[in-house]
Amino acid sequence: MRQEYHPLAWLAWATAAAAIALMTLNPLYLTLLALAVLANYRVISLRSPTARQWGAFLKAGLLIWAITIPFNALMSHHGRYVLFRLPANWPLVGGAITLEAIAYGFARGLSLVLLLMIFATFNSAVDTARLLRRMPAFLYLAGMITSIALAFVPQMISALQEIREAQRVRGHRFRTIRDLLPLIMPLLTTGLERAIQLAESMEARGFGGSAASISRSLNYILKGMTLAGLLALLAGMFARSYWSRQAWIGILLSAGGLLLMTAAFWVQGRRVRRSRYRHELWLSRDTLMVACGAAAAAGILIARALNRAALFYYPYPPYSVWPAFDWRLGLLYALFMAPAWLLPPARAAQPKQLPLPR
Amino acid sequence: MRQAGWMNTLIILAASAVGVAAFLYPFFTLSPDQQMAGLAARAHANDAPLVLIILVVFCLGAILANLGSGEMNSKMVAVLGVLVAMNAVLRAIPGPGGFSAVFFLPILCGYAYGGVFGFLLGALSLLVSALMGGGVGPWLPYQMFTAGWVGLASAWIPDLRRFGRLESIVLAVWGAVLGMVFGAIMNIWFWPFVMPPAGDSTMYWSAGLGMRETLKRYAVFYVATSLWWDLGRAGGNALLILLFGPAVLKVLRRFQARFRFHITPAVEHAGAEPD
């Protein structure tokens, strides 16, 4: 499948957008971001075969949103702006129905739908096999297991069908759950047999030859570093929550732990050498897209660092139900529309091109 | 080899502890002196999910990176790959309520092949099925962690093969327990964020509650929303293990003998090359 952007560019975009989406409840900013994401999703779904299944998922998200608003309005009776009152003797729902409760339900539901939309766009736009090829080097074994599994899934499904047909031919009928046993056992056995064949062919092709090249002592040092990093992280989290007045102790400990782990990952990744059969193009529009996402995220983070209340929204008193809006921040949110802007217009039904190995 | 195995176990435990802390964050984060839930505290509560997702991803990375480097050989990799594929297919089988066959293999493999294998099988199955179905999102690391724990915890059951029928009954009960625990844990990660609180609600999290009150509210929330769903999952696990457990275990053990042989080169580090 010909793809419009590099998978890593999409990953960067989705991470930035999700991080920014999780950071505010302000309905105006959320709406802006949602519109920007929606523009991308519309453009992508014209070109992606997998977008359709996400359509149903998104509809479910919208339904949840539609339920959230009245639910919150009926359950929460706080606020200054009372729209109307239900009889007080009705259980749970009785009392004032307030604008604040509706606004809160709206914002919460919107942030959930927004998150779904971001990842709907991401999943529709990115080919998983290409994403998997980008697994960081220190995780190469996990990546390898995952690719083996992804390659075996279609085989499993066809094996399942074959076994089913074979059992039917022999007169086996699948009526209750108990009748599934003659289906599961051959599947498991043939699967494990195939695994043995695969292991043999992997060894024949030299798998594991380089894994021995790490010396035993370095292995211990790396493991020890990871372990120390994890423990520092844990200690930092506890310090952060129990001595919240000296927050910096916890943050420092956690950051040190993360650094230590990153260093171990880096050394582990460095000894893995990978060759690429298919080089992927990183186009200038990939750079532009990532730059837009990064600029927007950085700008919003800086705005929040300068003024802690810039993104803050909480409709109930003592805060205001009316969201604040700064047009400069609004522009930054709109920047997430970049992928849709930068694409050339879709040509209808273009013939499939096979990517050529270079 | 022994020590490397011990260190792997320690790493998995430490990473799990961070994961548990990240999951349980809403229960202990706001200590009394933070209770004057001012602007800053609330604003902090808003970016908690983001920080926690990053931490969980790091811990998963630590586990996956280190389990690989020790005793993984081609046979382990191949068998894991195949079983993960099988499990991802099993997950797609629909069922009533929260029923899902995704835990059947991790529980049995964790029991038969050890906790590390079970952890990897559970965690990677969810990764693969998310990649297949296009379900990659911020919920994925949490799911992977929790499913990994299901496999890990199944290794805590001692080898019961002498007791015949009892083995599958014990495993079925354990599978039901794990199914419930999985649901309870998976709810926690979004519970404080989905629909927190306004004043007098008795089901939702709000900043600055005491531990006891938080637990009480969570219990109400759990019973009201996801208990029935989780009962379906737990019952499904138990039923599958009771019906198919003994036969599957037999196959797994037969293959274990075939996978166990190990070829060691005559000269240690013969292929070592300076980087």
Q: Could you report the per-residue pLDDT of B99-127, keeping only the tens digit for each?
A: 677 788 888 888 888 778 888 888 888 88
**CA distances in angstroms from B229 to B37, B96, B167, B235, B236, listed in the order given:** 34, 9, 27, 10, 11
By C-alpha distance, the chain B residue nearest A193 is B255
With cut-offs at 50, 70 and 90, classify the pLDDT of residue A297. confident
Q: Do B14 and A231 touch (CB under 8 A)?
A: yes
With cut-offs at 50, 70 and 90, classify the pLDDT of residue A235. confident
Distance CA B228, CA B234 (A): 10
Secondary structure of A241-275 as H, E, C letters: HHCHHHHHHHHHHHHHHHHHHHHHHHHHHHCCCCC
Neighbours of A63 (CB within 10 A): 11
Nearest to residue B201, comparing CAs of B190, B216, B183, B189? Answer: B216
| Cα within 13 Å of Cα(A336), Cβ side | 36
B39 closest CB neighbour out of A124, A224, A308: A308
Domain membership flag for residue B272: no
Domain membership flag for residue A212: no
**CA distances in angstroms from A59 to A30, A49, A106, B58, B189, listed in the order given:** 18, 18, 16, 32, 23
Chain mean pLDDT for chain A: 78
Q: Do A22 and B259 touch (CB under 8 A)?
A: no
| Number of inter-chain CB pairs under 8 A, A vs B | 278
Distance from CA of A160 to the nearest CA of B (A): 10
Residues in chain A: 358
Domain membership flag for residue B185: yes
Can the peptide bond before residue A318 be classed as cis, meaning omega within 30 degrees of 0?
yes
- List, as ranges, residues 6-35 from A with C-beta within 8 Å of B: 18-19, 22-25
Tokens 């086996």, located at residue:
A172
Neighbours of B107 (CB within 10 A): 28
Distance CA A23, CA A102 (A): 20
**What is the SS3 assignment for A278?**
coil
The percentage of chain A sitting over the pLDDT mark of 70, rounded to a whole number, equals 87
User: Do B179 and B233 meet the contact criterion of CB atoms below 8 Å apart?
Assistant: yes
Per-residue pLDDT tens digits of chain B, which is 275 residues long: 456 667 777 888 888 888 877 776 655 554 444 443 444 444 445 556 677 778 888 888 888 877 655 556 778 888 888 898 888 887 776 655 556 777 888 888 888 887 788 888 888 888 888 887 666 777 788 888 888 888 888 888 888 777 778 888 888 888 888 888 887 777 766 665 554 444 444 555 555 555 666 666 667 766 666 677 777 778 878 888 888 888 888 888 888 877 765 555 555 554 444 44
Domain membership flag for residue B265: no
Domain membership flag for residue A138: no
Tens digit of pLDDT for each residue in A148-173? 888 888 888 888 888 888 888 888 77
Structure tokens at A140: 């190469």
DSSP A315: -
Count of domains for chain A: 1
User: Do A278 and A311 meet the contact criterion of CB atoms below 8 Å apart?
Assistant: no
Residues of the domain holding B134: 2-32+42-259
Q: Could you tell me which residues come within 8 angstroms of residue A251 by beta carbon, excluding any fewer than 6 positions away?
A: A236, A240
> What is the residue type of A323?
P
Which helix (H) or strand (E) segment is A97 a member of? Answer: strand A95-98
Domain membership flag for residue B120: yes
Distance CA A20, CA A296 (A): 9
Q: What is the mean pLDDT of residues A214-237?
A: 82
Q: Do A192 and B79 touch (CB under 8 A)?
A: yes
Taking the Cβ of residue B66 and every Cβ of chain A, the question of whether any pair is shorter than 8 Å is answered with: yes
With cut-offs at 50, 70 and 90, classify the pLDDT of residue A346. low
Based on C-alpha coordinates, what's the Rg of chain B?
21
A145 closest CB neighbour out of B58, B81, B239: B81
Distance CA A313, CA A233 (A): 30
- List, as ranges, residues 124-183 from B with C-beta within 8 Å of A: 124-125, 127-128, 131-138
Count of domains for chain B: 1
Taking the Cβ of residue B120 and every Cβ of chain A, the question of whether any pair is shorter than 8 Å is answered with: yes
Domain membership flag for residue B271: no
The answer on pLDDT for A355 being more than 70 is no
With cut-offs at 50, 70 and 90, classify the pLDDT of residue A178. confident
pLDDT for the residue numbered B30:
47
Least confident of A68-72, A329-333, B126-130: A68-72
pLDDT for the residue numbered B37:
43
pLDDT for the residue numbered A122:
84
Structure tokens at B198: 């306004």
DSSP A336: G
Residues of A in contact with B69 (CB under 8 A): 141, 211, 214, 219, 222-223, 268
Instruction: Name the H helices within chain A.
Output: 7-21, 27-47, 51-75, 99-125, 128-132, 140-169, 181-204, 216-242, 247-270, 284-306, 327-334, 338-342
Domain membership flag for residue B264: no
B198 closest CB neighbour out of A23, A209, A316: A316
Structure tokens at A339: 């992928």
Q: Do B199 and A270 touch (CB under 8 A)?
A: no
**CA distances in angstroms from A76 to A100, A101, B194, B200, listed in the order given:** 9, 6, 15, 7
Domain membership flag for residue A191: no
Domain membership flag for residue B234: yes
Domain membership flag for residue A161: no
Distance CA A268, CA B235 (A): 42
CATH of the domain at B113: 1.10.1760.20
Residues of A in contact with B14 (CB under 8 A): 227, 230-231, 234
Distance CA A43, CA A203 (A): 45
pLDDT for the residue numbered B39:
41
The percentage of chain A sitting over the pLDDT mark of 90, rounded to a whole number, equals 0
Q: What is the mean pLDDT of residues A7-26?
A: 83
Q: Do B77 and A199 touch (CB under 8 A)?
A: yes
Considering all CA atoms of chain B, what is the largest pairwise distance in Å, rounded to the nearest integer?
A: 72
Q: Do B78 and A199 touch (CB under 8 A)?
A: yes
Residues of the domain holding A64: 7-133+281-342
Q: Do A258 and B136 touch (CB under 8 A)?
A: no
Q: Could you tell me which residues come within 8 angstroms of residue A168 by beta carbon, excluding any fewer than 6 positions away?
A: none
Domain membership flag for residue B266: no
Instruction: Name the H helices within chain B.
Output: 2-23, 25-28, 39-69, 74-91, 104-113, 115-133, 140-154, 165-194, 211-225, 227-260
- List, as ranges, residues 252-291 from A with C-beta within 8 Å of B: 258, 261, 264-265, 268, 270-271
Distance from CA of A349 to the nearest CA of B (A): 23
Distance from CA of A39 to the nearest CA of B (A): 19
More confident residue, A3 or A275: A275
Residues of A in contact with B22 (CB under 8 A): 237
Taking the Cβ of residue A233 and every Cβ of chain B, the question of whether any pair is shorter than 8 Å is answered with: yes
Domain membership flag for residue A92: yes
Question: Mutate which of A121, A155, A192 to test chain B, going by most B C-beta atoms within 10 A?
Answer: A192
Taking the Cβ of residue B37 and every Cβ of chain A, the question of whether any pair is shorter than 8 Å is answered with: no
pLDDT for the residue numbered B197:
45
DSSP A351: P
The answer on pLDDT for A350 being more than 60 is no
Taking the Cβ of residue B64 and every Cβ of chain A, the question of whether any pair is shorter than 8 Å is answered with: yes
pLDDT for the residue numbered B72:
65
The answer on pLDDT for A86 being more than 80 is no
Angle between helices B2-23 and B165-194 in degrees, nearest 10? 40
